[in-house]
Amino acid sequence: MLNQIHIRDFAIIDKLELDLRAGMTVLTGETGAGKSILVDALGLVLGDRADSDTVRHNAKRAEISASFAVDTMPHILEWLEEHDLDEDGECILRRVISASRGSKGYINGRPVPLQIMKELGEMLVDIHGQHQHQSLLKADVQRISLDDFAGHQPLASEVATLHKSWKSTRNKLDNLRQAARDRDARIELLHYHIDELDALALEENELKTLEEEHKRLANGGTILEQCNNALAALYEGEEQDALSTLTRQLSQLETLRETDPRIATVCDLLSEAAVQIEEGCSELRHYVDKLDLDPQRLQWVEQRLSAIYDIARKHHVDAHQLAPLYDTFNDELAELENADHQLDELQKEVMQLEQRYEVQAAKLSKQRQKAAAKLAKSVTEIIHQLGMPNGLFQIALNVRDEQEPHPHGHETIVFEVAANPGQPAKPLSKVASGGELSRISLAIQVLLSSSQHIPTLIFDEVDTGIGGGVAETVGRQLRTLGQRHQVLCVTHLPQVAALGHQHLYVSKNTDGSSTSTQIQQLQKKQRQEEIARMLGGMEITPQTRAHAQEMIDRAAALS
């Protein structure tokens, strides 16, 4: 629900802050006062395209913000969260139109593209009487409206789900058929690759072992030289090696044990070191004795590694990935060789899904036909009461040209209307008269109010060309709609204005050098005076005021 709107420097509005309530709110005022400016401003904050000419004269920019209560609307809260625009249950839309630099849009203080603002705006407010913002002109909304009216949305959802499954399965079938056309050549190539890898006979961890061996063999001379040098320096250097030196020094230190027992720890450590050096040198000699520096072995290892690397390069993979590649080739080969069986299975599955889809889609078509006739009759009855006595509303269910399943069933839904006798019914989107379109939309909205998800509905020019009892009927329909939605109605008829729950008065003031529009909420006495003005024109008599009060009291007794 729209709680508050703030406007600054827009058109002839200097500054305006307006609080709105639930129910039906009417906007009245003298001709030319700018009653539709509020609707225009709301259209901009809801994502309509902006024109810099709308900025008030001598102002740098116009600013419009609207605050909505969305805490009871989970689909709006979910949308805000999905777009990272949620803010503790708040929903504030703001639009800034610069006189020289275009416009910017904000949702909960975050800048957003105009399309995102428009997407949210269409979920929050539906403006009737302005073509660019009427959801009922959209084919998808007409279809959803009919399905909502009939209460068969679950069936429509099932049809959409079956279509999705059918399409996914058919895509798999098409891909497999395409693959089958190239299957023989691919099978022959896979056999060649697999035979080549079989001939290579690469064992598990063989590549790692070969690489380590190659490194050792290729550096065998350096390894042997360094090992012999170490043995000479540590053990085999006669009097100059480390072990001989350590042994001599340890023998001399041992003589000091009796002189100073504290030297015993040092002697023990040096004795252990001598043992460690001797054991280490023994292991090193053993390593040297077994060191295989066979050039023929090196040549074989290099040839083996070369063969492995060549095949890896051929398949554009790392050599360590040859084993997984072998498994991949075998899996693909098995799938291709089993393709005929898979084709048969997928063909059966596609046919079964088509049959299930046809059953549910036919059921949906039958229900839509019944619902369309019922909705068309009800809308026609209401528009007859709304000043279109010869109007005819009907719903066309046009069978689609394509033979394949469609996510929305066999037919397209088109709302049509004939305003006068002898005229063929035309799509609602082609209706020229804004007043007629508004009244038709009003009739549909009243009938669909139980399933309508848009919280705020605005009607502009719904009373164009009507008066008397028809005007009161329009007002009563709007008031009925206000029981489920927040309704704002721009009107010049007292019969409609008297039925509002809240009354806003639009006036235009001038000081000789500038003009501005103001909107004020009328209290009880002010409201009586405004409706009396609408009834009596320039001269307001006591009888006119009494009539105005009677209309207000009669409206209050309705709810």
Query: CA angle at residue 388 from 387 to 394, to 5 degrees?
Result: 145
Q: How far is CA 65 from the centre of its chain?
A: 24
**pLDDT for the residue 435:** 65
Rounded distance between C-alpha atoms, residue 453 and residue 361, angstroms: 25
Cβ contacts of 439 within 8 Å, gap of 6 or more: 383, 386, 387, 388, 462, 474
CATH among 3.10.180.10, 1.20.1090.10, 3.40.50.300, 3.40.50.40 for 2-159+354-521: 3.40.50.300
On the question of pLDDT at 210 being above 50, the answer is yes
On the question of pLDDT at 120 being above 90, the answer is yes
On the question of pLDDT at 359 being above 60, the answer is yes
β-strands 502-510, 426-427: how paired?
unpaired
Tens digit of pLDDT for each residue in 229-257?
Answer: 887 787 776 667 787 888 888 888 888 88
The number of beta carbons lying within 10 Å of the beta carbon of residue 14 is 16
Rounded distance between C-alpha atoms, residue 551 and residue 500, angstroms: 11
**pLDDT for the residue 465:** 64
- What are the extents of the domains in the chain? 2-159+354-521, 184-337
Give the range among 62-71, 233-242, 269-278, 510-519 with minimum mean pLDDT.
233-242
First CA to last CA across the chain, in angstroms? Answer: 20
Residue with tokens 């005021």: 545
Q: How confident is the model at residue 95 (pLDDT cuts 50, 70, 90)?
A: very high
Percentage with pLDDT > 70 across the chain: 93
Provide mean pLDDT across the span 39-62: 90
Go through 407-420 and write b for each residue having 16 or more CB atoms within 10 A of its CB, e for each that does not: ebbbbbbbbbbbbe
Cα–Cα distances in angstroms (integers) from residue 112 to residues 65, 94, 100, 119, 180, in the given order: 14, 10, 20, 11, 48
Mean pLDDT of the chain: 85
Tens digit of pLDDT for each residue in 415-450?
Answer: 998 877 778 888 887 774 666 776 777 777 778 765
Provide mean pLDDT across the span 388-411: 91
Give the range among 43-57, 449-463, 473-487 with minimum mean pLDDT.
449-463
The number of beta carbons lying within 10 Å of the beta carbon of residue 26 is 29
Rounded distance between C-alpha atoms, residue 452 and residue 153, angstroms: 13
**pLDDT for the residue 132:** 43
Rounded distance between C-alpha atoms, residue 484 and residue 501, angstroms: 13
- Take residue 406 and report the two structure tokens written for it: 């469609």
Give the helix ranges, DSSP H, for 182-263: 183-200, 206-218, 220-234, 242-254
On the question of pLDDT at 316 being above 80, the answer is yes
Which range in 364-373, 433-442, 500-509 is most confidently predicted, on average pLDDT?
A: 364-373
**pLDDT for the residue 550:** 93
Q: How confident is the model at residue 133 (pLDDT cuts 50, 70, 90)?
A: very low
On the question of pLDDT at 165 being above 80, the answer is yes
Provide mean pLDDT across the span 6-32: 89
Q: How confident is the model at residue 337 (pLDDT cuts 50, 70, 90)?
A: confident
**pLDDT for the residue 24:** 94
**pLDDT for the residue 192:** 92
Rounded distance between C-alpha atoms, residue 417 and residue 430, angstroms: 9
Which residues share a beta bridge with 416?
394, 427
Provide mean pLDDT across the span 169-173: 92
Provide mean pLDDT across the span 199-207: 84
**pLDDT for the residue 167:** 94
On the question of pLDDT at 494 being above 50, the answer is yes
Cβ contacts of 191 within 8 Å, gap of 6 or more: 333
Is the sign of the CA dihedral 266, 271, 277, 283 positive or negative?
negative
Q: In what order do the strands lie in the sheet with 411-418?
A: 392-399, 411-418, 426-427
- Take residue 375 and report the two structure tokens written for it: 């909705």
**pLDDT for the residue 80:** 93
On the question of pLDDT at 131 being above 60, the answer is no
Q: How many CA atoms lie within 13 A of 470 on its CB side?
A: 16
Rounded distance between C-alpha atoms, residue 430 and residue 396, angstroms: 14
Nearest by Cα to 19 from 38, 42, 3, 43: 3
On the question of pLDDT at 318 being above 50, the answer is yes
The model scores a pTM over 0.95: no
